[in-house]
Amino acid sequence: MSKTQTPLRFKLVVPGILSILMLLSVMLLGCGKEEQGTMEEQSMMEEQSMMEEQSMMNVETIEWKMVTTWPKDFPGLGTGANNLAESITLMSGGRLNVTVYGGGELVGPLETFDAVSRGTAEMGHGGAYYWKGKAPAAQFFTSVPFGLTAQEMNGWIYYGGGLELWERIYEPFNLIPLAAGNTGVQMGGWFNKKIDSVDDLKGLKMRLPGLGGEVLKRLKGTPVLLPGGEIFTALETGAIDATEWVGPYNDLAFGFYKIAKYYYYPGWHEPGSTMESIVNKDAFNALPDDLQKIVRIAAQAANLDMLSEFTARNNQALDTLVNKHNVQVLKFPDSVLRKLAEVSDLVLLEESKRDDLSKEVYDSFIKFRSQTKPWHKISEQAYLNARSK
């Protein structure tokens, strides 16, 4: 390389280096400005956050109690109440804080209705058929024998006029009812003897609430109303001969397979049991509009979530009952189901004659059931029949 070439190469490189240095300077200057802007923005955000926190501190927290008919944290039903309370608390940003009490913690399981009615608690969670002694027509809003499935119950309550009738039934008790869960089609129950004919129901002492219990009574059986937490002991000691509860998921949790041999289906008495949340009307009306809406939307979400959980969990639990605990799953004979259906129709008709409101509820319920049959015959029923082949 000649001496004359070196200065030339140096001249070519130096301008390139100077250009890069100038570019870096500009970039650094720009970054400095951006950093300064970012710091200012961050400062403003922190200040705004502090103002929001201060504002939240000045907002009064409303404390509500929810009493339930279920054992504390019981799978599906008790946890469904817990989920509802948690949703309300979180959706309200903590402005409405709901604390759940299991059956027997604050009041007895079957005292839930009265406790919420008189304001001892602002909310309750249970089944409307537990209150048939106070409002007979309320039974239609849990489930009635050979009545509506879960999907049909939701259709009737939300879009078939059911909710308006339900609200009218609870109005004299200062209560607002909300659908807040569904078990789907239940099982027929646990027995220590086989049910081969209707005669096998005679003299049978069975835990069976609602209108299903009334049907059993007409067939010379003895229905017994017990909260969930008392069923196992009653069956174990012989205080009752048989029991129904919900389905595989809950029945496995209660351990009924330890004390009963036969597990019958279908749950003719509860084909789609809606669980309710009852709200003290004075407490509800005292809430601002947005919190009222949150309570209603949270209940609808809980209604969907519980049915979804039971649909998933029952599959797994049934497999465990059959394959691990050797439970015998049996279908009620067709002759027994036909007789149960016949007597159920008579019982429902008699219930409709109690008072004008019962007649309205009955007419609305039966009309909706009749309207759904043609559609479901060519939709749900036809599809399930096709899938089973």
Averaged over 70-92, what is the pLDDT?
96
Between these two residues, 305 and 30, which has the higher pLDDT value?
305
**Does residue 143 carry a pLDDT above 50?**
yes
CA distances from 177 to 123, 220, 299 (A): 10, 34, 10
Structure tokens belonging to residue 54: 């201060």
Q: Answer whether residue 259 shows pLDDT above 70.
A: yes
Instruction: Give residues with Cβ within 8 angstroms of 315, minimum separation 6.
Output: 248
pLDDT computed for residue 32 by the predictor: 52
The model's confidence at residue 60, banded by pLDDT at 50, 70 and 90, is confident
Closest Cα partner for 145 from 295, 348, 324, 2? 348
> What share of the chain in percent tops pLDDT 90?
83
pLDDT surpassing 80 at residue 9: no
> What confidence category does residue 48 fall into, taking pLDDT thresholds of 50, 70 and 90?
confident
Residue 1, token pair as written in the block: 């390389």
| b/e 140-167 (16+ beta carbons within 10 angstroms → b) | bbbbbbbbbbbebbbbbbeebbbbebbe
Least confident of 25-34, 151-160, 333-342: 25-34
What would the mean pLDDT of 125-140 be, rounded to a whole number? 95
Q: What is the pLDDT of residues 113-127, one digit of tens each?
A: 999 999 999 999 999
Closest to 113 measured CA to CA, from 153, 67, 80: 67
Residue 95 contacts residue 62 (beta carbons within 8 Å): yes
Name which residue leads in pLDDT, 40 or 17: 40
pLDDT for the residue 5:
40
Determine contact, residues 224/205, Cβ cutoff 8 Å.
Answer: yes
List, in sequence order, every residue forming a beta bridge with 189; answer none if it has no partner.
264
Other beta carbons within 10 Å of 382: 11
Give the mean pLDDT of 281-303.
98
Rounded Cα–Cα distance for residues 181 and 79 (Å)? 11
Residue 345 CA to residue 342 CA, distance in Å, equals 5
Is the link from the previous residue into 266 a cis peptide, with omega within 30 of 0? yes
Instruction: Please say if the pLDDT value at position 65 is more than 70.
Output: yes
Three-class SS of the chain: CCCCHHHHHHHHHHHHHHHHHHHHHHHHHHHHHHHHHHHHHHHHHHHHHHHHHHHHHCCCCEEEEEEECCCCCCCCCHHHHHHHHHHHHHHCCCCEEEEEECCCCCCCHHHHHHHHHHCCCCEEEECHHHHCCCCHHHHHHCCCCCCCCHHHHHHHHHHCCHHHHHHHHHHHHCEEEEEEEECCCCCCEEECCCCCCHHHHCCCEEECCHHHHHHHHHCCCEEECCCHHHHHHHHHHCCCCEECCCCHHHHHHHCHHHCCCEEEECCCCCCCCEEEEEEEHHHHHCCCHHHHHHHHHHHHHHHHHHHHHHHHHHHHHHHHHHHCCCCEEEECCHHHHHHHHHHHHHHHHHHCCCCHHHHHHHHHHHHHHHHHHHHHHHCHHHHHHHHCC
39: amino acid identity, one letter: M
Closest CA to 317 of 240, 263, 381: 263
pLDDT number for residue 38? 62
All structural domains of the chain, each given as residue ranges with its CATH number in brackets, are: 62-184+273-309 (3.40.190.170)
Q: Given the structure tokens 């250009």, which residue do they identify?
A: 19
Confidence band (pLDDT; 50, 70, 90) for 30? low
Q: Average pLDDT, whole number, for the chain?
A: 90
Instruction: Enter the tokens of residue 195.
Output: 């049910």
pLDDT > 70 fraction of the chain, expressed in percent and rounded: 86
